[in-house]
């Protein structure tokens, strides 16, 4: 049987070995950097907002009339889009890393919950920023209006009841995928399951529970980065020395 030679200069359908190796090296590092960026930005945004508003969001009489507190809240909300972009990059790189070994069921839950989390996070931040910016110098009048009460309740429900519970589903799905593919140690998988359960059951009733999600992503990202560096060190050590 005569094989037809490929035309000179035609692109090959299969990636070369160096290209595949360099892609495999860059992928975990990109996921780790994106995960760390999301964690830092999201935690900073939560700290800025939580430090400016009272524990009871219904008690807005003091902080809403304070210009410095309003600006602090707006600064925290300004960081949310950048944290969301980093999270989307993290999701994309992790999904690329899993590749063809991805389970369709858990892969769908993983991607869907991640996208829903970012979407509701953006809606919450936009709604909250609009409320605080609209208050301005008329905070006293605006606070007594129905618009503030509806907007305040909507942002609280979006963040605690919906967005963070999607984060919980994302954490559980990610932990399951990592466990099935053997990409993470048992302690990290168990921590992910525990984080997801806590977010599902207590996020609407306990303060600062939202921090568990970015902290878990941070731990996962640091582990991926360290594992990638160890793999690089082992690969370099296996190379024969030049004569």
Residue 238 included in any domain: no
The pLDDT tens digits of the residues spanning 42-93 come to 999 999 988 877 666 555 556 777 778 888 889 999 999 999 999 999 998 8
Residue 135 included in any domain: yes
Distance between CA 31 and CA 241 in Å, rounded? Answer: 31
On whether the CB atoms of residues 218 and 33 are closer than 8 A, the answer is no
Which has the closest alpha carbon to 175: 227, 217, 116, 123? Answer: 217
Residue 242 included in any domain: no
Low-confidence ranges of the chain (pLDDT < 50): 1-25, 241-243
Residue 4 included in any domain: no
Residue 63 included in any domain: yes
Q: What is the pLDDT of residue 235?
A: 63
Q: To 10 degrees, what angle do helices 212-237 and 67-98 make?
A: 40
Determine the structural domain holding residue 109 and report its residue range: 29-228
- The domain total for the chain is 1
The first and second tokens of residue 12, run together, are: 């090959």
Q: What is the pLDDT of residue 2?
A: 44
Q: What is the pLDDT of residue 141?
A: 64
């Amino acid at each position: 049987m005569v094989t037809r030679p490929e035309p000179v200069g035609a692109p090959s359908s299969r990636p070369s070995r160096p290209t595949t190796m360099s892609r495999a090296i860059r992928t975990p590092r990109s996921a780790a950097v994106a995960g760390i960026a999301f964690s830092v930005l999201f935690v900073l945004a939560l700290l800025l907002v939580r430090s400016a508003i009272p524990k009871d969001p219904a008690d807005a009489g003091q902080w809403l009339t304070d210009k410095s507190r309003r600006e602090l809240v707006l600064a925290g909300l300004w960081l949310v889009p950048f944290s969301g972009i980093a999270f989307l990059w993290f999701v994309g790189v992790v999904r690329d890393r899993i590749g063809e070994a991805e389970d369709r069921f858990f892969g769908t839950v993983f991607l869907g919950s991640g996208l829903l989390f970012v979407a509701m996070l953006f809606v919450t931040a936009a709604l909250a920023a609009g409320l605080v910016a609209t208050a301005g110098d008329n905070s006293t009048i605006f606070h007594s209006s129905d618009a503030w009460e509806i907007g305040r309740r909507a942002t609280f429900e979006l963040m605690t009841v919906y967005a963070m519970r999607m984060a919980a589903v994302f954490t559980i799905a990610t932990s399951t995928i990592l466990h099935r593919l053997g990409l993470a140690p048992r302690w990290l998988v168990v921590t992910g399951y525990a984080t997801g359960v806590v977010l599902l059951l207590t996020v609407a009733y306990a303060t600062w529970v939202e921090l568990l999600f970015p902290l878990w992503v941070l731990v996962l990202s640091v582990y991926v980065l360290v594992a990638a560096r160890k793999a690089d060190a082992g690969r370099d050590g296996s190379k024969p020395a030049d004569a």
